[in-house]
Amino acid sequence: MVQLRIRAANADIKTRMKLVPLKSLRLHPEANRVPRMPPEQNAEFQADIAERGVRVPIEIIAGRVIVDGRSRYLAARRLGIKRVPVIRAPLNGDDPVIYMLRAATKRRHLTDDQRACLAREEMEILSRIATRERARQGGLTGGRGRAKPSNSLPITSVGKQSRTKTSRGTVAVTYRVSERRIRAAQQLKQVAPQLYEQVKAGEQRLTVAKREADRESKRQEQRRLSRAARPHRDESNWEIRYGDCVEELAKLKPGTARLVFADPPYNQGIDYGPGRKADSLSDEAYLAWCRRWIKACVRVLTDDGSLWVMISDEYADHFGLLLREAGLHRRSWIKWYETFGVNCTNNFNRCSRHIFYCVKNPRRFVFNADAVSRPSDRQSKYADSRANPHGKLWDNVWCIPRLVENSRERLPDFPTQLPLALVRPIVLCASQPGDLVIDPFSGSGTTGVASVESVRRFIGIEANQKFARFAGERISMRS
């Protein structure tokens, strides 16, 4: 039975098919809405046409305008074929461009991303027809009639067929793609038309193009904020406060800091000024103090702000719980590998620290991916053309050398100075130009330098008066 139907269909096509001069045909003005074949497949296709001729008829409408068969037409023209088979396209009242788009979905070389773009093209045409239909109805009613708004779109069945409604879901079924993919294509078309055309041509993946569009939008916003946030010559966008961090944080308005970076004393007996005993508390006393300053930090964070805390091995497990108790949501537990550290004689060498990246709201936060991206192995090792040109996000292990005594960046009299290479990406990633960044344990002022350099406002708090003065001098040279 199936074979009989196929034979009958082929016989019907042969009955309706006729040979016409190639020069009498012309492409539809909107033929470029349909992506062309990839070069490799197009070469094979032309070789087949050269060997066997144009066997599948080209579909045309009135005026011998091609609505399906562009590749056959172009191949025949290149090969000098004079006459080609054509057949009348069975539009059945549909819009010719939509017929052309739907016919293209039968091509095997199209990806899901390309079909999503074609679905978006159809929805654009449907919207245009709906606008014309409302205008026509308004004209018939003297301008008094107004169509009710709807999330559905009219299909292009016009003329003899009734004008009904179709949803994005119906279009998605027709093109065999998800509604989510169509929405992504629509958004990309709106914000980055050039990237959209690359996706439709099969030169770029939709997810990669959308990610690039989002990044470019963020870059533009950061440039705008940076211009707006640059202080005048007689203004300062930073300050170092000398005093206890809990008391000084209490003086600030709540919800004012987009980022707080804290590298507190580790309770390891280091002399930060008042002697080693001040950094050798009992576990209970140390953790109780940590609860107080963490609570004070959370208070000054904006609703979309983040708190980054660095700590050593001894209290990392405790800090994971303390930050949760403070109502924060941990996004990442980062290990900073210092490349070399303290040599031990009867234990593994100490060469890393923990960085907890936490936010107040797990759905709303600042994260600038460009600040923490690197070339992927596909780019640097394999030169893979499929690689994302913007690389990949850092892993949760950061390999950044610590500062040694002869480092150019190293300042005298600071026992625990952090490298700018560590703090700068945190500031750039978790805040925008003009935002307030706070460091409750300012020390040598590294966070302040990273903030001022990137046009952020900065407040550093330091309990050691000498450190506070030196940090201020260091930042002032960079501002």
Taking only the tens place, the pLDDT of each residue in 146-204 is 544 444 433 333 333 333 345 778 899 989 999 999 999 999 999 999 999 999 999 88
According to the model, what pLDDT value does residue 386 have?
66
CA-CA-CA-CA dihedral for 448, 451, 452, 453, to nearest 10:
120
Q: How far is CA 266 from each of CA 64, 143, 263, 276, 341, rounded to the nearest angstrom?
A: 81, 75, 8, 12, 16
Place of tokens 């907890």: 356
Q: In terms of C-beta density within 10 A (0-12 exposed, 13-18 middle, 19 or more buried), how is residue 159 classed?
A: exposed
pLDDT < 50 positions in the chain: 2, 4, 6, 8-9, 145, 147-165
Q: Sign (positive/negative) of CA torsion 276, 324, 353, 259?
A: negative
Query: What contacts 24+ positions apart, CB below 8 Å, involve 215-223?
Result: 215/369, 215/370, 215/390, 216/192, 217/191, 218/368, 218/369, 218/370, 219/370, 221/432, 222/368, 222/432, 222/433
Angle at 233 between CA 229 and CA 238, to 5 degrees: 60
What is the distance between the alpha carbons of residues 98 and 299, in angstroms, rounded to a whole number?
Answer: 56
- On whether the CB atoms of residues 19 and 58 are closer than 8 A, the answer is no
* Phi then psi dihedrals of residue 353, to 5 deg: -135, 165
DSSP letter, residue 111: -
Burial track 123-144 (b if 16+ CB lie within 10 A, e otherwise)? bebbeebbeeeeeeeeeeeeee
User: In the chain, what are the domains?
Assistant: 14-90 (3.90.1530.10), 112-227 (no CATH), 236-478 (3.40.50.150)
Q: How far is CA 479 from each of CA 15, 238, 451, 461, 475, rounded to the nearest angstrom?
A: 82, 9, 10, 18, 6
* Chain-centre distance for alpha carbon 246: 37
- On whether the CB atoms of residues 396 and 334 are closer than 8 A, the answer is yes
- On whether the CB atoms of residues 296 and 249 are closer than 8 A, the answer is yes
Q: How far is CA 159 from each of CA 91, 171, 222, 424, rounded to the nearest angstrom?
A: 11, 21, 52, 64
**Length of the chain measured in residues:** 479
What is the distance between the alpha carbons of residues 277 and 478, in angstroms, rounded to a whole number?
Answer: 35
**Token couple for 261:** 């970076």
What is the distance between the alpha carbons of residues 224 and 201, in angstroms, rounded to a whole number?
Answer: 32
